[in-house]
């Protein structure tokens, strides 16, 4: 679980940041092994370029099956490898998946993602870290010619992610970082056959400058909103889900697409937030989700997906799980419950009456 430790003092004219946003903690050892194998296969260089890397992709893409979620649930968030779960059971149980599809991890092949999609019945999203960069990703140091890696782009680094020595905050308004995201990171994920992106750490646009844990000035904040707009221009048919960054900075923000300014929420198909009801109830976050739901957005002519992701420690804790499901549904949200934010290496198959 990750919590941003921001200063309690919010500068005037800045929107208060999202309350205690959290994020999962991946299995870094497994990722490190996968990355080591990847680098070994392509020469093991930690800098420069390599001919086997995917070339820069600059053309707009029509990838994806269209805007909006045909079904609001059930859904699950799972960051473990496909080999550790029953894919057929998952595909028949859930309609929406949030997985780790980065090819560096080796968690899912395109064929396994296709199995989860179940003939188009289900939608598969991939985790996409925009606001920070982890040093176990291959693009931390190894990228094609024409783009800067995260480690080489010193101008975009906004300092260490407090509590996580393998990660740094990135200036989402930095042009070179945006080029890396748009022309290399995103195309690699799309090539896996996923239906959309599950954006994490975008709450950096809410940080402001009164913090040492990822300070983000006005240029950085607006640049982050515009980065999503550029991704939307590139992938007009992909599903976009924003995790945790639910404050007025995003809800009332404006982003600039190729055709001009648009309301920032119009770029998304859904919003998800962790730890709304469990392990403790967060009334401030629930209010933010209610505000988003009240906007009555209809991406692709379908209802905007507002989801909750709560943690109850273990899959056998049906009492707390049922409470979280009921509280979420009472507000019209789509609930999911897992073991722990630092886990999500298992899938909890809750009874259908949840």
Number of residues assigned to the chain: 354
pLDDT at 54: 59
Mean pLDDT of all residues in 156-167? 93
Helix (H, G, I), strand (E, B) or coil at 12: coil
Helix (H, G, I), strand (E, B) or coil at 232: helix
Taken in order of first residue, the domains within the chain and their CATH numbers are: 66-338 (3.20.20.70)
Q: CA-CA distance, 309 to 294, in Å (whole number)?
A: 20
Contact 195, 239 (CB under 8 A): yes
Q: What is the pLDDT of residues 71-91, one digit of tens each?
A: 999 999 999 999 999 999 999
pLDDT at 334 over 90: yes
Measured from the Cβ of residue 202, the count of other Cβ atoms closer than 10 Å reads 24
Which of 9-23, 66-80, 145-159, 177-191 is the least confident region?
9-23
Distances (CA, A) of 255 to 46, 64, 224, 225: 35, 22, 9, 5
Contact 147, 226 (CB under 8 A): no
Q: CA-CA distance, 242 to 236, in Å (whole number)?
A: 16
pLDDT at 135 over 60: yes
Mean pLDDT of all residues in 19-44? 39
Helix (H, G, I), strand (E, B) or coil at 154: helix
pLDDT at 7: 29
Q: Which residue has the higher pLDDT, 34 or 224?
A: 224
């Amino acid at each position: 679980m990750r919590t941003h430790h921001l200063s309690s003092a919010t500068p005037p004219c800045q929107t208060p940041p999202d309350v205690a946003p959290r994020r999962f903690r991946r299995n870094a050892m497994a990722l490190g092994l996968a990355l080591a194998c990847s680098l070994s296969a392509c020469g093991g260089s930690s800098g420069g370029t390599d001919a086997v890397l995917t070339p820069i992709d600059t053309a707009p893409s029509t990838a994806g099956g269209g805007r909006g979620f045909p079904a609001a649930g059930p859904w699950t968030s799972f960051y473990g490898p496909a080999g550790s779960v029953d894919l057929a059971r998952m595909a028949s149980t859930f309609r929406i998946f949030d997985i780790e599809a980065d090819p560096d991890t080796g968690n899912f092949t395109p064929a396994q993602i296709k199995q989860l999609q179940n003939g188009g019945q289900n939608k598969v999203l991939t985790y996409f870290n925009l606001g920070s960069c982890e040093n176990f990703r291959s693009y931390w140091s190894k990228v094609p010619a024409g783009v800067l890696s995260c480690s080489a782009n010193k101008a975009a680094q906004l300092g260490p992610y407090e509590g996580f020595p393998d990660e740094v905050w990135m200036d989402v308004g930095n042009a070179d970082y945006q080029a890396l995201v748009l022309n290399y990171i995103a195309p690699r994920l799309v090539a896996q056959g996923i239906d959309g992106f599950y954006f994490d750490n975008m709450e950096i646009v809410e940080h402001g400058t009164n913090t040492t844990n990822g300070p983000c000035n006005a240029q950085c904040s607006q640049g982050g909103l515009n980065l999503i707009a550029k991704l939307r221009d590139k992938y007009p048919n992909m599903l976009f889900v924003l995790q945790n960054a639910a404050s007025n900075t995003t809800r009332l923000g404006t982003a600039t697409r190729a055709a001009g300014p648009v309301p920032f929420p119009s770029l998304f198909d859904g919003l998800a937030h962790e730890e709304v009801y469990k392990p403790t109830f967060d009334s401030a976050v629930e209010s933010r989700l209610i505000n988003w739901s009240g906007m009555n957005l209809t991406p692709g002519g379908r209802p905007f997906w507002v989801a909750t992701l709560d943690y109850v420690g273990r899959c056998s804790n049906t009492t707390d799980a049922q409470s979280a499901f009921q509280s979420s549904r009472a507000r019209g949200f789509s609930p999911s419950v897992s073991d722990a934010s630092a886990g999500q290496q298992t899938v909890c198959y809750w009874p259908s009456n949840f």
